[in-house]
Amino acid sequence: MSNYYRRAHASSGSYRQPQEQPQYSRSGHYQYSNGHSHQQYSSQYNQRRRYNHNDGTRRRYNDDRPHSSNNASTRQYYATNNSQSGPYVNKKSDISSRRGMSQSRYSNSNVHNTLASSSGSLPTESALLLQQRPPSVLRYNTDNLKSKFHYFDPIKGEFFNKDKMLSWKATDKEFSETGYYVVKELQDGQFKFKIKHRHPEIKASDPRNENGIMTSGKVATHRKCRNSLILLPRISYDRYSLGPPPSCEIVVYPAQDSTTTNIQDISIKNYFKKYGEISHFEAFNDPNSALPLHVYLIKYASSDGKINDAAKAAFSAVRKHESSGCFIMGFKFEVILNKHSILNNIISKFVEINVKKLQKLQENLKKAKEKEAENEKAKELQGKDITLPKEPKVDTLSHSSGSEKRIPYDLLGVVNNRPVLHVSKIFVAKHRFCVEDFKYKLRGYRCAKFIDHPTGIYIIFNDIAHAQTCSNAESGNLTIMSRSRRIPILIKFHLILPRFQNRTRFNKSSSSSNSTNVPIKYESKEEFIEATAKQILKDLEKTLHVDIKKRLIGPTVFDALDHANFPELLAKRELKEKEKRQQIASKIAEDELKRKEEAKRDFDLFGLYGGYAKSNKRNLKRHNSLALDHTSLKRKKLSNGIKPMAHLLNEETDSKETTPLNDEGITRVSKEHDEEDENMTSSSSEEEEEEAPDKKFKSESEPTTPESDHLHGIKPLVPDQNGSSDVLDASSMYKPTATEIPEPVYPPEEYDLKYSQTLSSMDLQNAIKDEEDMLILKQLLSTYTPTVTPETSAALEYKIWQSRRKVLEEEKASDWQIELNGTLFDSELQPGSSFKAEGFRKIADKLKINYLPHRRRVHQPLNTVNIHNERNEYTPELCQREESSNKEPSDSVPQEVSSSRDNRASNRRFQQDIEAQKAAIGTESELLSLNQLNKRKKPVMFARSAIHNWGLYALDSIAAKEMIIEYVGERIRQPVAEMREKRYLKNGIGSSYLFRVDENTVIDATKKGGIARFINHCCDPNCTAKIIKVGGRRRIVIYALRDIAASEELTYDYKFEREKDDEERLPCLCGAPNCKGFLN
Amino acid sequence: MTTVSINKPNLLKFKHVKSFQPQEKDCGPVTSLNFDDNGQFLLTSSSNDTMQLYSATNCKFLDTIASKKYGCHSAIFTHAQNECIYSSTMKNFDIKYLNLETNQYLRYFSGHGALVNDLKMNPVNDTFLSSSYDESVRLWDLKISKPQVIIPSLVPNCIAYDPSGLVFALGNPENFEIGLYNLKKIQEGPFLIIKINDTTFSQWNKLEFSNNGKYLLVGSSIGKHLIFDAFTGQQLFELIGTRAFPMREFLDSGSACFTPDGEFVLGTDYDGRIAIWNHSDSISNKVLRPQGFIPCVSHETCPRSIAFNPKYSMFVTADETVDFYVYDE
C-alpha cells in the first residue's frame, strides 16, 4: 500500500511497469521500430472499455456513494488516461508538413484499423470526430522536464513521476475517507478551530435557488457578466507582432463638405510635422488636368529605425482627427491611415468628381455658346449690320453671367487695356478684406498689380490667359477669412477683359492722355531718330503756338476791346443791366408774395405772439429764395457758414477767416447768418465789414434802453446803399398786403425758454421788431403803472442790463460749444468759482470728449511737453550742442537718412563681430547679446497726453521713415493674451498694452515693457508700427510716417478690430480731422 | 472609454496580433493562463519553471517570474493585482502565495500529497479551491496555510466556481459525473450531480461557469465541448467542429472558454484557428457547429489553451507560444 500508483496499475493489470519497458528509458529516445506494442496498448484499452460497457457497472462518484462498493474500478484513474493515447489516426503527412516534427513522431496505422473494427458501436458524429485525435508528439523529453510532477507521458498515458504522488488518505490517515472541514466554534468563551467530519450522504440544497440569485449581478463578484468589451489602445508593433507592419502612412484629403482649396502643400506638411518626422510627402494631381487634388500621402519615419514610432505618429495623427476632421488654414481635411488601396480609391474618387465637374462646365459652356449663336442669328436676321468684335469665350461667358463691370475712369491709365479681375467694394468692405489678402492668396498667379480702389479691388494681369486661368480656378473657389465674421468667405471675381482687343498698347501709350510708360521699341536707329525729331518738332510747334497767342494775339485783342472804343455799346449795356435788375426785383417780389400767402395759410395765432414755429420749414423756403438771386460764389460762402464750425476749422482755405477765434467772431458769423435768413438778403462782404463794429458795440454795449435795442433789431430797415437788392428786398417786405387779418411782417420767431422760464427783457426786445410792435406793447402795458422812483428806475435799468448780459453770455457759450463739439457744454465742467480755486480733480473721459478734441484743433500740434532748457539757459555745452544740432538740420534730409543707414550698417558689422566672438568663446553670454534695435532708437520721453493718460513725445525732430522705438514687452501666446486681457480688465487696468505680432503671438507691455507702450492712438497718426524680423524673431518697431517736430506727440493707428457692440467701443479723443470717433 | 459589444461580427474581427515565443534554451509549453480580475495582466505558467507576466492591455511582455526550485503550474491571480498563487511541480506539492512586485512568498499552503492540477479563486472572497491528484479537493483561505475543507474525489478532477461564489462544481472525467456543491454547506454532499451520457466524451479537462451563471461548460482537447444548464444539470449543447489536439507532455487549461457575457464559446482548433459557437441563440439539445473561425496568422504553433479577457477586447491562446488576439476595426 505504500505506493498507491503502483497498486493502481496492478489493479488494471494491463500496463507494464516502466522498469519492464527498456525502450521508455530515460535516454529520451522514443523511436519505435514497429507499432506492435501500441497495438497491444490499444487493444488492451478497447478490451477494457468494452468490458466496462458490457459490465454495465458505471463508475460512481466517489464522494457520495458508499466507498467500498466499487473500489477497484474507481481507482483506475491512471489507466483511463491511456485512453487519450488510444484511438490514433494516421495523419503523418499532414502533421509533418505543418509542424515540421517528423523526428519524434508517433504514428501507427494498425491502431487505426483495430479501432475502426472495434469501435463500431459509436455511430454518432462526435464519436467519429473523436477518432481523429492526432497522435501525440513527444517534444519534451529532457531529464529536467521529466523531473516535474506534471510531466505527462502521452504514450503511456500517465504521469512520469506518478510514483512520487500519494493519496491524501495515505498522508492523513487519522481522518475519515469522507473528508473533513474546519469550523470555528465557541468553546469556553474562546473561538477555537475544530475539525469535523463531512457527511456527504446528506444532499445539500442549491444556494442559488434559495437566495433567488439567478444573475451574478446581485453579488459583489469579481466575475461580472459584461456585454461589451473595452477596446484596447493601439498595439505597438514589436518583434513579437504578427502580420505586416502597421501602416505609417496617412492619407489626407479634403472633406466632402469643404470645397476645393488653394492651400499650399507645404502648410499641410507643416501641420502634420508635429506628429512625427515625415519621410515622404506626396501631393497628388489630377492626371487629366494636372491640377492639384489636394490629396496627400504622408509617410512618417522613425528616428531609430523602429517601425513603431512611425506607426505611432501616423496613428496619433489619425486618431486626433478621427471625429471632427482637421482644419488647416480654415479648410477641412479628413485623415485616414493608408491601408490596402485606400489611397488609390480616394484619388480615383476625386478624379471622378473633377471629371464630373468638368463635364458640367463644358455643358454650361456649350449652352452659353449656343445661346450666343442664337443671339447672333437673331441679330443677323434683323438685318442690322453689326459685326461684333471677336471676343474670347470666357468674356462672353462672364458677360452673359451679368457682370457688366467697367473699369473706373481714373484706373484706365493704370490698367492700360489689360485684363482685370474685380471684386466689388461692398463685398470687400463687408468682410474687411484688404489688398494684401488677395496678394497673398493669388501669389501663385502672375498678377501685375493689385489696386485698392473706392469701387473695389482690381487685380491686373499682363496676360489674358493668366487672368482667365486665375478667374477659372479661383472664382467661386478661393476663400479668404473674413475679418468681420471670422469664417472663410468664397470670393467671386469678375473678369474684365480689355475693351479693344485690336487696339494695341503701343497706340495707347503714344496718345498723350495716358501717362503709363510702356516702352516703345524701335526697329532701327533711323526710326528712333525720326521719332525723336518728330517729338521735338511737335514741342516746338506747341511753344510757338503759345507764344503767338500770348504775345501777338493777346495784346491786340485787348487793345481792340477797350471800353473807350465802344461808347454806344456801353450805354446799351447799362440799359440792359437796369432791365435785369428790375426783372430780378419783380421776381423776388413775386416770391415774397407767394411766401406770404403760404405763411398766411399756416397762420398761427400763437405764432404772432412769438410762439414756436416750424423752423425747418422756414429753412427750406429760405434756401429756395436764396437760390434765386445769389451768385454761386456767395452761395458757397454761405453754405460754408451753414456748416458746423468744426469743419470750417479743418479747411485751410477758411482758416484765415476763423483764425481770430474770439467768441465775437463766431457769434458774428452765426448772427449775421441768421439775419440774412430773416431779411432774405444777400449780404456782401463789405456789408459784413460795416456791420461788425456795430455788432461789437451791441454785444458789449453799455446799459441800453429797450428802445435802442429795438432800433437795432430793426436795423434792416435802414436802407443799405451798397446792396441795391437789399433795398428792393426791404421795400417788398413793407409793401402793404391785401388781407383782412393783419399779417405779421416778420415771420414767427422761434422763441426759446431755455434760459429763463419767464419772459426776460431780452425776449421782449427780440419780440419787438418795429414801432408798431412797440405801440402794441405800450398799449398792453398801459394798464399797469409801476411806481417809478429815480432809484428804482436806475436799478431797473441796471437789472435789465444784467439779465440781458447773462442771457447773452450763456447763449454765446452754448452756441460756441455746439458749433465746436456738436454737444452742449456739460454743466459739471463749469466751475462754481474760479478755476484757480477749484484745485485738481479728475475729469471723466465722458466730459473730456466735450472739450478735448476742440482743444486739439485749436492748438495743433498739441504740446503738453515744455522743454525748458532749450533757449533759456545758455551754457557753453548747450551752445555747442545747439550749434551742432543747428548744423545737422542744415544738412539735407536724404543725407541724414543715408548717414543713419551707414550707421546701421556699421552696427550690423559690429553685431557680426560680436557673433563671431561669441562663437569663439563658445558660451552663450547675456552680456554679449546685442539689441540691434536699441542702437537706432530716437530720443523720446513720455508725459501726460491730451489723448489718453500718457503719451510719448519726440524730444528731437524726427525725419520721416526713421525708426523711432521698438515696442518691447512680454512675448506671449494668443490664449495667454486673452486670459491676461480679462484679468487686466478685472483688475481695473483699462488701458490695453497688448500688441498682436501674428496669429499666435502677442506682445504684452502691461507689466513689463518699454515706453513705446505709451504711444497713443490717433486716426491721423504720425507714426506707424511695423513688424520686422530681427534675428528670426518678429518684433514691433515704430517708424515715423512723416517728419515729426520736436516735442510733438507720437501717435500711430492702433488698427483695432471693429467692435459691433456699441457699448464696447472705445471713444477716440485724438481730435484728428478725420477722427472716426472710436478706436474700435 | 470606447467599448465594443460582444456579437458574432465583432468576434470575427479579432485579429491575431502577437505571438510570444519562448527562448530556445528554456523551451517548454505553457500550462496555464490567467487574467487578473481587471483584465490588465495575464499570468502564464510555463513548464520551464517560470511564470510570465504580460500586460494584456498593451499586449506586451512584462516580466518573468522564476520558480526554479519548486516549479510552477496553474498560476492564478488572487483578487489583488500583484499577488498570485501557484502550485509546485517539483520537490513538494505546496501551493505558493507570491507577491509579484516584491517577489516575496506570502504563504505556503501545504497539505496536498500529489500534484495540484488546478487552482480556482473564489470570485467573491479570498478563498480558493485546489484540485489535486491526491484524490482530494481542498478549500483554502489565503490567510491560513492549512486546508479548511478536504473533499475526497476521484482523479483526475476538475473544479469550477459559480460567478456568485456560492457554488462550485467538481467533475471527474472518468466517471462522467459533475457534482455541484453548496459552499455554505460544504460538509454535505453535492446538491446536484450532472451525468454525462456521452461516454466517448471522456477526457475533458476543464469546467467553467459562464459569467451570467446560466451555463456550465465542459471543455476538452478532443475537439468537442458540452454545455450544461447550471441550474438543472441538463445537457444543452454539444459543440463540435474543431479538430482534436494530440496529447502532449503537460497539462493544459482547456481548449474552450466562454466570452465574458456567457453568450459565446470560443474554442481552439488543431488547425490553428479559433472557433466561435453561439449557443445562447441556439435551440438547446443540439449539436452546434462553429459559426465562424478566427484565423491564426502564425503557423509555427497552434493554439491549445484559451482564455478570454474579462474586461478588454482580447483573448489569448497558448501552447508553446502565447498568442494574443485583439479586436481590430
The answer to whether B80 faces chain A, any CB pair under 8 Å, is no
Residue type at position B63: D
Of A127, A178, A216, the CB nearest to B212: A216
H helices present in A56-171, as ranges: 71-74, 77-81, 92-99, 109-118, 125-131, 143-146, 168-171
Write down how long chain B is.
329
Closest CA to B42 of B29, B60, B27: B60
Of B3, B49, B113, the CB nearest to A168: B113
3-state DSSP assignment of residue A214: coil
- Interface contact flag, A216 B164, Cβ < 8 Å: yes
The answer to whether A167 faces chain B, any CB pair under 8 Å, is yes
Q: 240-299 in B: which are within 8 Å (CB) of A?
A: 240, 243-251, 260-262, 270, 287, 297-299
The alpha-carbon gap from B266 to the nearest alpha carbon of chain A, in Å, equals 15
- Interface contact flag, A134 B180, Cβ < 8 Å: no
Chain A positions touching B163 (Cβ under 8 A) are 216, 219, 221, 223-225
Query: What are the phi and psi torsion angles at B149 (to 5°)?
Result: -140, 140
What is the rounded distance in angstroms from the CA atom of residue A576 to the CA atom of residue A580?
Answer: 6
What is the rounded distance in angstroms from the CA atom of residue A138 to the CA atom of residue A103?
Answer: 9
Contacts of A770 (CB under 8 A, 6+ apart): A714, A717, A745
Both A252 and A326 in one domain: the answer is: yes
Cell of A666: 463766431
What residue of B is the nearest CA neighbor of A153?
B249
Contact A151, A145 (CB under 8 A): yes
C-beta neighbour count of A585 within 10 angstroms? 18
Question: Given this model, what pLDDT does residue A192 score?
Answer: 80
- Interface contact flag, A204 B188, Cβ < 8 Å: yes
pLDDT beneath 70, residues of chain A: 1-132, 209-219, 256-262, 303-305, 382-406, 499-521, 597-762, 786-788, 819-836, 838, 845-846, 848-900, 918-935, 990
Both A355 and A475 in one domain: the answer is: no
Contacts of A265 (CB under 8 A, 6+ apart): A281, A283, A292, A296
ipTM of model: 0.91
DSSP state of A323: T
Q: How far is CA A986 from CA A400, A982, A990, A1067, in A?
A: 58, 6, 9, 20
Domain presence at residue A165: no
Chain B positions touching A175 (Cβ under 8 A) are 150
pLDDT beneath 70, residues of chain B: 23-26, 299-301
Both A946 and A1026 in one domain: the answer is: yes
- Interface contact flag, B200 A77, Cβ < 8 Å: no
Q: How far is CA A660 from CA A643, A654, A655, A685, A688, in A?
A: 18, 12, 9, 17, 15
The answer to whether A149 faces chain B, any CB pair under 8 Å, is yes
Cell of A287: 492626371
Q: How far is CA A349 from CA A24, A34, A333, A689, A731, in A?
A: 69, 67, 15, 87, 92
What residue of B is the nearest CA neighbor of A222?
B123
What is the rounded distance in angstroms from the CA atom of residue A552 to the CA atom of residue A555?
Answer: 6
Q: Is A5 annotated as a binding residue?
A: no
What is the rounded distance in angstroms from the CA atom of residue A1077 to the CA atom of residue A1070?
Answer: 8
Chain B positions touching A243 (Cβ under 8 A) are 15-17, 297
Contact B171, B158 (CB under 8 A): yes
Cell of A552: 501777338
Both A353 and A418 in one domain: the answer is: no
The answer to whether B142 faces chain A, any CB pair under 8 Å, is no
**Which contiguous run of DSSP H or E holds residue B46?**
strand B41-46
A615-629 vs A567-601: helix axis angle to the nearest 10?
Answer: 170
- Interface contact flag, B89 A202, Cβ < 8 Å: no
Cell of A140: 519534451
Q: How far is CA A42 from CA A127, A305, A397, A534, B200, in A?
A: 17, 57, 95, 129, 15
Both A355 and A413 in one domain: the answer is: no
Instruction: For residue A1069, give the CATH number of its domain.
Output: 2.170.270.10
A342-382 vs A393-400: helix axis angle to the nearest 10?
Answer: 80
DSSP state of A872: S
What is the rounded distance in angstroms from the CA atom of residue A57 to the CA atom of residue A73?
Answer: 9
What is the rounded distance in angstroms from the CA atom of residue B52 to the CA atom of residue B75?
Answer: 10
Residue type at position A288: N
What residue of B is the nearest CA neighbor of A53?
B199
Contact A235, A301 (CB under 8 A): no
DSSP state of A1037: E
Domain presence at residue A1032: yes
Question: Given this model, what pLDDT does residue A619 score?
Answer: 45
Report residue A768 CA to chain centroid gap. 65
Cell of A429: 468692405
DSSP state of B131: E
What residue of B is the nearest CA neighbor of A194?
B148
User: Beta partners for A878?
Assistant: none
Residue with cell 471527474: B172
The answer to whether A286 faces chain B, any CB pair under 8 Å, is no
Chain B positions touching A219 (Cβ under 8 A) are 124, 163-166
Give the torsion sign (CA, A870, A873, A874, A877).
negative
Question: Given this model, what pLDDT does residue A827 score?
Answer: 59
C-beta neighbour count of A565 within 10 angstroms? 10
Beta-sheet pairing, A249-254 with A292-301 = antiparallel
- Interface contact flag, B326 A139, Cβ < 8 Å: no
Terminal CA-CA length for chain B: 16
Closest CA to A981 of A1004, A947, A957: A1004
* Cα-based torsion angle of the residue sequence A615, A617, A623, A624 in order, rounded to the nearest 10 degrees: -150
Question: Given this model, what pLDDT does residue B42 score?
Answer: 93
Domain presence at residue A780: no
By the 10 Å C-beta count (0-12 exposed, 13-18 middle, 19+ buried), A743 is classed as middle
The alpha-carbon gap from B294 to the nearest alpha carbon of chain A, in Å, equals 14
Contact A1006, A980 (CB under 8 A): yes
What is the rounded distance in angstroms from the CA atom of residue B191 to the CA atom of residue B178?
Answer: 11
Cell of A1028: 520686422
- Interface contact flag, B223 A129, Cβ < 8 Å: yes
3-state DSSP assignment of residue A610: coil
Q: How far is CA B274 from CA A1052, A1058, B242, B303, in A?
A: 77, 67, 9, 8
The answer to whether B86 faces chain A, any CB pair under 8 Å, is no
Instruction: For residue A348, give the CATH number of its domain.
Output: 3.30.70.330
Contact A408, A420 (CB under 8 A): no
Domain presence at residue A448: yes
Chain B positions touching A200 (Cβ under 8 A) are 188-190
CATH tag, B6-325: 2.130.10.10
Digit-coded pLDDT (tens) for A374-415: 888 887 776 554 444 444 433 333 333 444 566 777 777 777
Beta-sheet pairing, B177-182 with A1033-1040 = unpaired
Of A139, A200, A242, the CB nearest to B19: A242
**Is the bond into B156 cis (omega within 30 degrees of 0)?**
yes
Structural domain count, chain A = 3
H helices present in chain B, as ranges: 8-12
Contact B247, A85 (CB under 8 A): yes
Question: Residue ranges of the domains in chain B?
Answer: 6-325
Write down how long chain A is.
1080
- Interface contact flag, B270 A207, Cβ < 8 Å: no
Q: What angle do CA A117, B246, B70 make, to 5 degrees?
A: 135
Domain presence at residue A486: yes
Beta strands, E only, A175-255: 180-187, 190-197, 199-203, 228-230, 249-254
Cell of B267: 474554442
Residue with cell 499641410: A268
Optimal mutation site among A26, A30, A62, interface B, most CBs of chain B within 10 A = A62
3-state DSSP assignment of residue A333: strand
The answer to whether B105 faces chain A, any CB pair under 8 Å, is no
Q: 38-97 in A: which are within 8 Å (CB) of B?
A: 53, 58-64, 74, 76-77, 80-81, 83-85
CB pairs under 8 A between A and B: 374
- Interface contact flag, B149 A145, Cβ < 8 Å: no
Terminal CA-CA length for chain A: 106
Chain A positions touching B167 (Cβ under 8 A) are 206-208
Contact A249, A298 (CB under 8 A): yes
What is the rounded distance in angstroms from the CA atom of residue A464 to the CA atom of residue A468?
Answer: 6
The answer to whether B67 faces chain A, any CB pair under 8 Å, is no
Digit-coded pLDDT (tens) for A406-453: 677 777 777 777 888 888 888 888 777 878 888 887 877 777 788 888
Q: How far is CA A528 from CA A73, A373, A536, B304, in A?
A: 131, 46, 12, 101
Domain of residue A1019, residue span:
842-864+928-967+1009-1079
H helices present in A442-524, as ranges: 464-474, 505-510
Contact A715, A674 (CB under 8 A): no
The alpha-carbon gap from B68 to the nearest alpha carbon of chain A, in Å, equals 11
Contact B44, B54 (CB under 8 A): yes
Of A165, A197, A204, the CB nearest to B190: A204
Contacts of B106 (CB under 8 A, 6+ apart): B83, B97, B98, B99
